[in-house]
């Protein structure tokens, strides 16, 4: 074990899925032409007046409730001043001293078991625009379509002790946002972004070490890589007698390293002050009650229900509920065939394997939940074997369709006719006298060989249980 303990705190920016921006009525739709979704407010024209989007408040408060934060009934918007071409106002409207919510937590599961991670605060703010640098044209462009899109920033306590825990925390947080329907949680497209603060300290030391802040990771894997690299870099530096400098570092995914972007000397002094254009945000008790009543079943509750009501093992319940669309798919399949463990095996096995192999999301799977359910049922009823069912699933993956129709059209119906299987068994015995002699001499491992030969002759269609039974009878 290393001499050092790792300490990690995470800042997550989640883009809220509102129709309009946080302080104006421009659309948040992705993919419009450059600067099409802009107005005097989100382009920071002089004299513009921001008006707060009520839906953004609703979403921020729902997230706060979902992670057991205390909601501040009165919070303040503040100006965070800095200059950058993608920020035409010259300041970001954020919340500073009085954020909308504080003091929450979530439970995470890692190889170390269950652990509580504190959430320091959640605040609301607007996103900046995008600078686009074209080296071909030797020009830079500014697109302000994203400027003013609502964000919540979720700041954690420095409670994580490994990259694995950091990723577990992020996955839980992302799942909650997606279950709430308030964020699409897409790391690659930047609707879920994470900055990782990382430090190390000798085991037993109370004070935290100096931290660096890592940016520019757009996948869970890269977050893990960036943290692992940074921890080792800090250990090497300290072992060499160097001090860690508090700085922001960018992760370079191609090289797998972090590089200094700006040090403390260049750190911003944002000169925060309350935005005089916006009244304090006062949240009424009646809104709170309505929003609480609208909270959907969240991942932890769904996971518990899958174990208690459906009798699934904890592992299955966790895997199935980690992504909302997978849990929805599973439950829809159950409606068609109420065999939780069997359907779970199929979703966790064949469905997920196929998604991984193809590198696609569940939406790419055209086998509808009721069609998957039917496939599982066909196996149970003995119409096809498990292996044939797997092949049929692969076959239908891109098109969907009734599995029974496909099975019959392709002549894949299982052979459960005793005399038909018996004649295959007899053929195999006749064709393999040497193996039969060895088997009778005591080499019982050859059973597998004989079963395999019979299955092959039947093109995978013989009922495996009957094959085993009839072989045993014939071979004695």
Residues 6-45 within binding reach of ligand ADP (CB under 6 A):
7-11
Q: Which residue's CB comes closest to ligand ADP? A: 9
Q: How far is the CB of 10 from ligand ADP (least distance, A)?
A: 6
Q: How many residues does the chain have?
A: 476
Is the Cβ–Cβ distance between 145 and 34 less than 8 Å? yes
Bridge partners, residue 151, by sequence: 15, 125
Q: How far is the CB of 77 from ligand ADP (least distance, A)?
A: 17
Between CA 166 and CA 168 the distance in angstroms is 5
Binding to ligand ADP by residue 197, rule CB under 6 A? yes
Query: From the list 41, 66, 152, 379, which residue makes contact with Zn ion (rule: CB under 5 A)?
Result: 41
Total residues binding ligand ADP (CB under 6 A): 15
What phi-psi label fits residue 463: left (phi over 0), alpha (psi between -120 and 50 degrees) or beta? beta
Q: How far is the CB of 163 from ligand ADP (least distance, A)?
A: 13
Q: How far is the CB of 37 from Zn ion (least distance, A)?
A: 7
Residues 119-178 within binding reach of Zn ion (CB under 5 A):
none
Binding to ligand ADP by residue 208, rule CB under 6 A? yes
- x/- binding map, residues 158-177, to ligand ADP, per CB under 6 A? x-------------------
Query: From the list 42, 69, 173, 200, which residue makes contact with Zn ion (rule: CB under 5 A)?
Result: 42
Between CA 356 and CA 350 the distance in angstroms is 10
Q: Beta 273-274 vs 77-81: how paired, if at all?
A: antiparallel
Stretch that binds ligand ADP, among 154-162, 350-358, 378-386, 398-406 (CB under 6 A): 154-162
Query: From the list 8, 12, 22, 26, which residue makes contact with Zn ion (rule: CB under 5 A)?
Result: 26
Q: Is 27 exposed, middle or buried (0-12, 13-18, 19+ CB in 10 A)?
A: middle
Between CA 58 and CA 66 the distance in angstroms is 12
Is the Cβ–Cβ distance between 75 and 95 less than 8 Å? yes
Query: From the list 32, 39, 237, 336, which residue makes contact with Zn ion (rule: CB under 5 A)?
Result: 39
Enumerate residues 6+ apart whose C-beta is below 8 A from 279. Answer: none
Q: H or E element: which one contains 303?
A: helix 299-308
Of 272, 314, 333, nearest to 99 (Cα)?
272
CA distances (Å), origin 246, targets 121, 198, 282: 22, 10, 36
Q: CB nearer to Zn ion: give 24 or 173.
A: 24
Q: CB nearer to ligand ADP: give 197 or 385.
A: 197
Query: From the list 72, 94, 199, 258, which residue makes contact with ligand ADP (rule: CB under 6 A)?
Result: 199
Binding residues (CB under 6 A) for ligand ADP: these are 7-11, 155-158, 197-199, 208-209, 211
Binding residues (CB under 5 A) for Zn ion: these are 24, 26, 39, 41-42
């Amino acid at each position: 074990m290393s001499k050092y303990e790792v300490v990690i705190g995470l800042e997550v920016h989640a883009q809220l899925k509102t129709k309009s921006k946080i302080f104006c009525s421009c659309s948040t739709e992705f993919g419009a032409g450059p600067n099409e979704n802009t107005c005097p407010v989100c382009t920071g024209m002089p004299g513009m007046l921001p008006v707060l989007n009520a839906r953004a408040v609703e979403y921020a408060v729902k997230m706060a409730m979902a992670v057991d934060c205390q909601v501040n009934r009165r919070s303040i918007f503040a100006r965070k001043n800095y200059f950058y071409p993608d920020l035409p106002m010259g300041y970001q409207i954020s919340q500073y001293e009085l954020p909308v919510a504080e003091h929450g937590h979530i439970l995470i599961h890692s190889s170390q078991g269950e652990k509580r991670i504190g959430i320091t605060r959640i605040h609301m703010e607007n996103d900046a625009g995008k600078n686009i640098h074209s080296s071909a044209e030797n020009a830079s462009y500014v697109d302000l379509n994203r400027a003013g899109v609502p964000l919540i920033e979720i700041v954690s306590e420095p409670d994580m002790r490994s990259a694995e825990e950091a990723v577990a925390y992020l996955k839980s947080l992302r799942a909650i946002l997606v279950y709430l329907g308030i964020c699409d949680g897409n790391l690659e497209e930047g609707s879920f972004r994470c900055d990782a603060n990382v430090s190390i300290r000798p085991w037993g030391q109370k004070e935290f070490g100096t931290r660096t802040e890592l940016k520019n990771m757009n996948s869970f894997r890269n977050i893990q890589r960036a943290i692992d690299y940074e921890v080792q870099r800090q250990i090497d530096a300290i072992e060499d007698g160097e001090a860690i400098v508090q700085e922001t570092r960018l992760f370079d995914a191609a090289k797998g390293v972090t590089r200094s972007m700006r040090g403390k000397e260049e750190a911003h002094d944002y000169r925060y002050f309350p935005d005089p254009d916006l009244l304090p945000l006062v949240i009424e008790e009646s809104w709170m009650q309505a929003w609480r009543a609208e909270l959907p079943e969240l991942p932890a509750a769904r996971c518990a229900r899958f174990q208690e009501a459906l009798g699934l093992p904890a592992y299955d319940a966790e895997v199935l509920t980690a992504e909302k669309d997978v849990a929805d798919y599973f439950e829809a399949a159950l409606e068609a065939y109420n065999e939780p463990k069997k359907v779970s095996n199929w979703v966790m096995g064949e469905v997920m394997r196929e998604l991984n192999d193809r590198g696609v999301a569940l939406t790419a799977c055209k086998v509808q939940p009721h069609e998957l359910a039917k496939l599982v049922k066909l196996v149970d009823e003995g119409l096809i074997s498990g292996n044939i069912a797997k092949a049929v699933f692969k076959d239908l993956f891109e098109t969907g369709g009734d599995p029974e129709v496909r099975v019959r059209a392709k002549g894949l119906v299982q052979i459960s006719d005793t005399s038909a299987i018996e004649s295959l068994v007899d053929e195999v015995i006749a064709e393999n006298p040497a193996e039969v002699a060895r088997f009778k001499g005591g080499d019982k491992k050859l059973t597998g060989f004989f079963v395999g030969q019979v299955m092959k002759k039947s093109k995978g269609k013989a009922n495996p249980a009957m094959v085993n039974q009839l072989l045993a009878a014939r071979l004695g």
